[in-house]
Amino acid sequence: MTPDKHFVIDRHPHYPQIIIGAGFSGHGFKFSTLVGKILMELAIAGKTNHDISLFKLSRF
């Protein structure tokens, strides 16, 4: 679980071919469908239309 209790959805800062989806402790299952869609869009299209700025790894 992250310190701010939000997920991490982002690209690895040094290896952009790696997409990170982490920190889904406890309540994460409720968001699994949307998070899966976002991760798929990032992996296939390289972007998503969803605002994932709250979940960036760089916030730490």
Tens of each residue's pLDDT in the chain, 60 residues: 788 888 899 999 999 999 999 988 777 788 889 999 999 999 999 999 999 999 999 998
What are residue 31's phi and psi, to 5 degrees? Answer: -110, 5
Question: What is the token pair recorded at 50?
Answer: 């969803």
Contact in structure between 38 and 10 (CB atoms under 8 Å): no
Q: Which residues pair with 9 in a beta bridge?
A: 21
